[in-house]
Amino acid sequence: MRESNDDAVPLEFYDTRTRTQRVFEPLEAGHARVYTCGPTVYAPQHIGNLRSQLFADLLVRTLLSRGYQVTHVVNITDVGHLTDDADAGEDKMERAAAHAGRTAAEIAAEYTAQWVRDRELVGCRPPDVLCRATEHIQDQIDLIQRLEERGFTYRIDDGLYFATARFPRYAEFAGLDLNAQTSAARMADVPGKQHPADFALWKFAAPGVRRQQEWDSPWGRGFPGWHVECSAMSIRYLGPTFDIHTGGVDHVRVHHTNEIAQSECAYEMHPWVQTWMHNEFLNLAGQKMAKSEGRVALLEDLIADGHVPLVYRYFFLQAHYRQQQAFTPEAMDAARTGYDRLVRVASEVRGASGKTRRSVMAPLRRRFQQALADDLNAPRALAVAWEVARSGELEPVERWTLLREFDTVLQLDLEHALPKSEQAAGESDPRIDALVAERERARAERDFANADRIRDELAAEGVTIEDTPEGARWRRE
RNA sequence: GGCGCCGUGGCCAAGUGGUAAGGCACGGGACUGCAAAUCCCUGAUCCCCGGUUCGAAUCCGGGCGGCGCCUCCA
């Protein structure tokens, strides 16, 4: 088939491990295995967190559009993530539970549900596997045992630790200078740590303290450290080596560095993951959106502002995932207008049929694919979609065919979404309907003073009237 | 202080050697009784300085400014 030539553009992704953009070649032909770092569910996930999921979804949908079978695993961290990464501090889940006067399980369930819902609302494909740390304790213990058998662990009073000094490549991934690290702080709270970069694999429950989340293990009652769950679960579902691991840039230094250390030492494998992809942050007021600063926006906030959730996805697509993106209410409004107009075009050509010309469609199709193949350049891909939308060369059926095709990746619901001006079609309000009818009568009698008065009154309460060939219609802004 | 990223029209944002994608806003036009919605048109030489090159937003050097990581963080 000639069609297959369009797929010849090789997919290239920027890989953090090698700091280069490389052609993607899965370990198993035709099958891409992807692991995405999901949330620690101790608090609501904001739209910055959501950016990571949108990025992973863009990746997965791009792979699917190229005909790959994809196994996408996403984790939920619901235990072991401490407030302080130096293996001291409280467990975030336990703390959140204590503050709310509820159980850790309740907290986790609530925020997991919210996160799942938000993901769906912005068009993220459900993961093939959604796995929770608390449901994989044995997998984590097994992994730690492999490390113990191979001599990578040591035991001190508060837990079993990973000895980074025994893994020569430890600093390689993140380009760390271990000697220059500000080690004092990380050593202070944990007596016995051999190196500041060492991290807990299994933490013991403090003497006399009954935790909500604790389990028996070969080393004593306690809970797994942060990082272990990702190694254990990704390997459980994707095998001891797989293709792509995604996450936020903040994870490069500690979380992913430690995952690599655990996994490569436990399974004597290198490189453990072929390609590491990291998304940049969403900025709010010039700085990264951060829970700890209270500088966050939730998807429900955007919805409360009158935005359709997919407007946020459209917003996301306007910037490259490896660039910091500036979030402002104005930018959201701009995205909303842009999205609505794109939807309008789609709705106008929706369902068009007839003959299509390959000669005019192929270049656009190819440029769309090239954009995505170039390290998921969504802004460029979106620009091609706009070109199609506003093309004077293409027939409606051709525009529809391309837009529907592009939307399998963009996922902007171009197949069903209604433009703003048509959303009121199903809405009805006897009082407003009557006023609109009254204005229609006034207009028919060329009594424009009265007609305009009615329109102004409705406008004052946020109702906009549009006169169309089929008569007047209204909508709430 | 160390490491990394970034600085493109009013705003958001692509573009990494050959005379600046796209979206939003503004202005102009078409349409309209006037509007709304829609459509069309218009706008930047790319933070500053120096260098390499026939040619640089794009490479190199030096500034200035911003952000991130190094401490919880997608």
pLDDT in tens, A68-99: 999 999 999 988 676 655 566 678 888 888 88
Q: What is the pLDDT of residues A26-35, one digit of tens each?
A: 999 999 999 9
Which nucleotide is closest, CA of A282 to its C1'?
Answer: B74
Considering only residues 378-417 of chain A, list those whose CB is below 7 Å from strand B.
379-380, 382-383, 386-387, 390, 392
Question: Does residue A246 approach strand B to less than 7 Å at its CB?
Answer: no
Question: Does residue A450 approach strand B to less than 7 Å at its CB?
Answer: no
Residue A434 tokens read as 């009557």
Residue carrying structure tokens 């995505």: A372
**DSSP assignment of A66-127, as one string?**
TT-EEEEEEEEB-S--BSSTTS-S-BHHHHHHHHHTS-HHHHHHHHHHHHHHHHHHTTPPPP
Contact between residue A235 and residue A218 where contact means Cβ atoms under 8 Å apart: no
Region of poorest pLDDT, from A90-94, A95-99, A218-222, A443-447: A90-94
Q: Which residue is nearest to nucleotide B66 (CA to C1')?
A: A286
Question: Does residue A138 approach strand B to less than 7 Å at its CB?
Answer: no
Which nucleotide is closest, CA of A248 to its C1'?
Answer: B74
pLDDT > 90: percent of chain A: 58
Q: Tell me the CATH class for A9-279.
A: alpha beta
Which nucleotide is closest, CA of A280 to its C1'?
Answer: B74
How far apart are alpha carbons A183 and A195 in whole angstroms?
Answer: 8
Q: Is the pLDDT of residue A438 over 70?
A: yes
Please, what is the average pLDDT of chain A?
Answer: 88
Predicted local distance difference test score (pLDDT) of residue A114: 94
| Helical segments of A122-227, H only | 137-149, 183-188
| Helical segments of A101-219, H only | 104-121, 137-149, 183-188
Residue A465 burial (CB count, 10 A): 18
Domain A296-417 sits in CATH 1.10.20 = no
Q: Is the pLDDT of residue A320 over 70?
A: yes
Considering only residues 59-78 of chain A, list those whose CB is below 7 Å from strand B.
none
Q: Is the pLDDT of residue A14 over 70?
A: yes
Predicted local distance difference test score (pLDDT) of residue A4: 41
Q: Which residue is nearest to nucleotide B70 (CA to C1')?
A: A181
Predicted local distance difference test score (pLDDT) of residue A476: 78
Task: Give chain B positions with protein CB within 7 A.
Answer: 1-6, 11-15, 21-25, 32-40, 66-74
Predicted local distance difference test score (pLDDT) of residue A187: 47
Question: Does residue A468 approach strand B to less than 7 Å at its CB?
Answer: yes
Question: Does residue A250 approach strand B to less than 7 Å at its CB?
Answer: yes
Q: Which residue is nearest to nucleotide B39 (CA to C1')?
A: A390
Contact between residue A125 and residue A72 where contact means Cβ atoms under 8 Å apart: yes
* pLDDT (mean) for A295-301: 89
Predicted local distance difference test score (pLDDT) of residue A192: 82
* DSSP-assigned beta bridge partners for residue A325: A282
Q: Is the pLDDT of residue A3 over 50?
A: no
How many residues would you count in chain A? 477
Q: In what order do the strands lie in the sheet with A199-204?
A: A153-156, A159-162, A199-204, A222-224
- A377 band by pLDDT with thresholds 50, 70 and 90: very high
ipTM of the complex model = 0.92
Considering only residues 292-331 of chain A, list those whose CB is below 7 Å from strand B.
292, 318-320, 323-326, 328, 330-331
How far apart are alpha carbons A380 and A294 in whole angstroms?
Answer: 33
Q: What is the pLDDT of residues A379-426, one digit of tens each?
A: 999 999 999 999 888 999 999 999 999 999 999 999 999 887 676 555
Question: Does residue A253 approach strand B to less than 7 Å at its CB?
Answer: yes
Q: What is the pLDDT of residues A110-121, one digit of tens each?
A: 999 999 999 999
Question: Does residue A209 approach strand B to less than 7 Å at its CB?
Answer: no
Question: Does residue A58 approach strand B to less than 7 Å at its CB?
Answer: no
Question: Does residue A212 approach strand B to less than 7 Å at its CB?
Answer: no
In terms of pLDDT, which residue wins out, A465 or A285? A465
Q: What is the pLDDT of residues A198-210, one digit of tens each?
A: 999 999 887 777 7
A463 CA, B66 C1': Å apart? 42
User: What are the domain boundaries of chain A?
Assistant: 9-279, 296-417, 424-476
* pLDDT (mean) for A103-114: 91
A384 CA, B9 C1': Å apart? 21
pLDDT > 70: percent of chain A: 92
